[in-house]
Chains A and B, each alone.
Chain A
Amino acid sequence: MPNPITQDRRHFEDLAVGEVIDLGHTTVTRDMILTFAREFDPLPFHLDEKAAKASLLGGLASSGWQTGALSLRMLVDSFLGTVASAGGLGFSNLKWKNPVMVGDTIGGTVTIAELRRSSSHPQWGIMTLDFDVRNQKGQPVLTMRLANLIETRSAAA
């Protein structure tokens, strides 16, 4: 039975390795950093300007988990919300390359690196996505490889 939520979206068969998704941009405000840090990462260098200056980060910076979450949000808006996504499997090689400071604008690209059918569940494909997220100066802030399930139109290979 087709999934009424995803039936008009792009499926596994409609995607190609090498497709590049433009993530658009997000500006990270002081308020966003403090709100996330209070709930999920209340370390002094994410909450307090003075402690942040004295830390390895050199100033008030977003939690790396927030940088990842904002990258994910940009991917949902630009891509995952338009395809028959069936959930994330995990990720590997996540690297926080440079801290994201107050007022920075982050954006970048995600490239479809691999597409394969699940051998145990042929109704799904597994797409592997490479993130390249940068700040407004073009410096890398986050890279990772995400594995996400996507529905196939037909379970026959």
Chain B
Amino acid sequence: MTRWYEDIAIDEPFPLGSHTFSQDEIIRFATLYDPQYFHIDPQAARHSHFGGLIASGWHTVSVGHRKMVDALFAEENRLREEGLEPGVSGPSPGVNSMEFKVPVRPGDTVTYELVVTDKRASNSIPGWGLLFNRLTALNQRGELVYRAEIVGFSKRRDYRMPTKLRLLQALTKVPVIGALLQRGT
């Protein structure tokens, strides 16, 4: 899905759309994953310094991830409609930083945006590249809800496996040699 590693532009803003958080879904998520009183109990939450119920940061981030996945699918469809073969995104190895700024309250609308700030070939997984993604989430007043630096895998279209690696991979498919090679690693 989405573009190939080679086609991903650095610093191009990629709008991911918006989501409005209802009180019910805030409580539903937090009851499962972050049942602190200011995320699940509107009455008790008044005593917190937030002065009322707020969404778990993990909830706003999970929704941000969903928006990104939806955007990847939309990009895949767009490329197919143009008769192009889309690229392949892989799982994420991690998040360098995540800063929660302004809390999300029931009825707030959060707008998400992704920018790829850098990319490089993966050292550990041949044929894949690493994307350094910055995700920002703003509320309806333009206040920063969170900012994240997330790393993602993306498949390289133009990758050619070095002859040595290709030979090794071919040899692992020969039963006896393959077993020997497996034992050796």
Contact = CB atoms under 8 A, between A and B. Distances in A.
A54 B146 CA distance: 34
Contact of A41 (B58, B65, B146): B65
Nearest to B43: A5
Contact of B94 (A70, A81, A96): A96
Interface residues of A, number: 39
A135 interface: no
B63 interface: yes
A93 B94 contact: yes
Contacts of B50: 87
A16 interface: no
A56 B66 CA distance: 20
B91 A56 contact: yes
Q: Is the interface of B mostly helix, strand, loop or mixed?
A: mixed
Interface stretch (B28-36, B112-120, B168-176): B28-36
Contacts of B71: none
21 contacts: A4-B47, A43-B89, A56-B91, A56-B153, A63-B65, A68-B58, A69-B32, A69-B33, A72-B56, A76-B35, A87-B36, A87-B49, A90-B97, A90-B98, A91-B95, A91-B97, A92-B98, A93-B97, A96-B91, A96-B92, A96-B93
Closest 8 CB pairs of A and B: A69-B33, A94-B95, A95-B94, A90-B99, A40-B62, A40-B66, A90-B98, A92-B97
